[in-house]
Amino acid sequence: MNLLKKTASAILSSSLVAGAAQAQLSDDEIRIGYLADMSGTYRDLSGPGGLEALKMAVEDFGGQIDGKKIVIFSADDLNKPDVGANTVRQWVDERNVDMVTGLVASSVVLAASKVVEQSGKLALISGAAASSLTDEFCSPNHVHWTYDSYALANGTAKAVLAGGGKNWFILTADYAFGHAMEGDISRVVEGDGGAVLGKVRHPFPSSDFSSYILQAQGSGADVIALANAGADTVNSLMTANQFGVVQSGQQLAGMVVFLNDIHAMGLDVTQGLKLTTGWYWDLNDETRAWAKRYQDRVGSMPGMVPAGIYSATLHYLNAVKAAGSDDTQAVRAQMMATPVNDMFAKNGHIRADGRMVHDMYLAQVKTPAESKGEWDLYKILRTIPGDEAFRPLAASQCKLLAKN
């Protein structure tokens, strides 16, 4: 870690010299592109709400840097990698966008991040889950902020295993995120003495989960893990409820569950479900105050993704101001050298592989009797220290890390 800090410091020093020499922002503006699913499966976990969180960050920063305006562009990626990549390419070529954020579906992010890297711009990934984004697909041009599949599996799967759930069946969304999540679940389960009895992959997105849930029931597994997200997770859980999965003695493990999912399904369906989250609106006075502001604008409480978008954007803008430049590597080095201390994370830090490391939280969905209000949905069981939650650098395949 000391070597990594020295490396970041050296990069920062050289970058700041260049930034000071230029002492300017390209086009006399900071241009941010917000790319997310605005209308489909992942709309509710980020979508328009994430865009509003981005606007809040820009407004709270003051809307400008040294008199230069901060401009926002936004687009719907339709959860299609080609649409996402083409949108980013157009933003870079025609609008000279400096930074892209939002970035939800991992398949879209992988395609878009290639364009970002080729063009020398920066991506702040707040919605995608695939831990491979800072492993085999790491890049000097992106930072992974809010959560990832490694941390979610470490939190939820370990808790379920400790509770006696040893034999697992995994229901997986058949694309990059689901594959990463499936691999991380298997790693934790088998590493802690459990067994994966079976797996099935469903198209992304899907509307009918009957055959998949029946297959999972028939496996005889103690635990059915859902390696999907958004509307796919909601549909999976609703189908499992209809088929009496829990009543028959099997346990459900929602590996990527968001606050809006629980709210949509209700506590009668989701009570007792364990999950891991990167943030919760009711953690403390600071989170509650920010969440209330967001709710006043959006009409619902924020989950971890909008909160992460807000945090990442503020950290970026502060780095641009400190560096005196919007040069990608100068800004990224400044971000790495500066701890993250805001309403999202305390003492967070960005590693050389691009992973923003911060505490995660093991939560359990409350019963209707325990809940004191519409959005009083979680009880926090444990704080998971960031260095425990995320993949250790020693186990990383990231090309950015110096190998001895």
CATH number at residue 264: 3.40.50.2300
Percentage with pLDDT > 90 across the chain: 83
The per-residue pLDDT for 137 is 96
Residues 258 and 154 in one domain: yes
Any domain includes 402 = no
Domain total of the chain: 2
Residue whose pair of structure tokens reads 């490391």 in the numeric block: 357
Residues 54 and 159 in one domain: no
- Give the lowest-confidence range in 12-21, 115-124, 131-140, 225-234: 12-21
Any domain includes 267 = yes
Contact, 245 vs 188, CB < 8 A? no
Residues 6+ apart with CB under 8 A from 191: none
Residues 180 and 302 in one domain: no
pTM, rounded to two decimals? 0.89
Residues 253 and 384 in one domain: yes
Residues 298 and 345 in one domain: yes
Taking only the tens place, the pLDDT of each residue in 173-210 is: 998 889 999 999 999 999 999 999 999 999 998 989 99
The per-residue pLDDT for 2 is 45
Contact, 15 vs 327, CB < 8 A? yes
Any domain includes 189 = yes
Taking only the tens place, the pLDDT of each residue in 95-139 is: 999 999 999 999 999 999 999 999 999 999 999 999 999 999 999
Residues 66 and 143 in one domain: yes
Any domain includes 399 = no
The per-residue pLDDT for 19 is 39
Any domain includes 122 = yes
Any idea how long the chain is? 404
Provide the pLDDT confidence category of residue 247 given band limits of 50, 70 and 90.
Answer: confident
Q: 379-386 contacts: CB < 8 A, separation 24 or more? A: 380/280, 380/283, 381/159, 381/274, 382/159, 383/359, 384/151, 384/154, 384/155, 384/276, 384/359, 384/360, 385/359, 386/348, 386/357, 386/358, 386/359, 386/360
Any domain includes 397 = no
- Give the lowest-confidence range in 3-7, 72-76, 373-377, 391-395: 3-7
The per-residue pLDDT for 230 is 87
Residue whose pair of structure tokens reads 């939560």 in the numeric block: 363
Any domain includes 230 = yes
Residues 321 and 203 in one domain: no
Alpha-carbon distance of 383 to 215, in angstroms, equals: 34
Residues 370 and 309 in one domain: no
Any domain includes 36 = yes
Domain extent at residue 163 = 150-277+360-389
Residues 273 and 314 in one domain: no
Residues 253 and 374 in one domain: yes
The per-residue pLDDT for 8 is 46
Question: Most distant CA pair in the chain: distance in Å?
Answer: 68
Beta bridge partners of 99: 32, 122
Residues 103 and 213 in one domain: no
Residues 180 and 95 in one domain: no
Provide the pLDDT confidence category of residue 403 given band limits of 50, 70 and 90.
Answer: low
Taking only the tens place, the pLDDT of each residue in 342-372 is: 999 999 999 999 999 999 999 999 999 999 9
* Section 320-329 average pLDDT: 96
For residue 203, say if its preceding peptide bond is cis, omega within 30 degrees of 0: no
The SS3 of residue 348 is strand
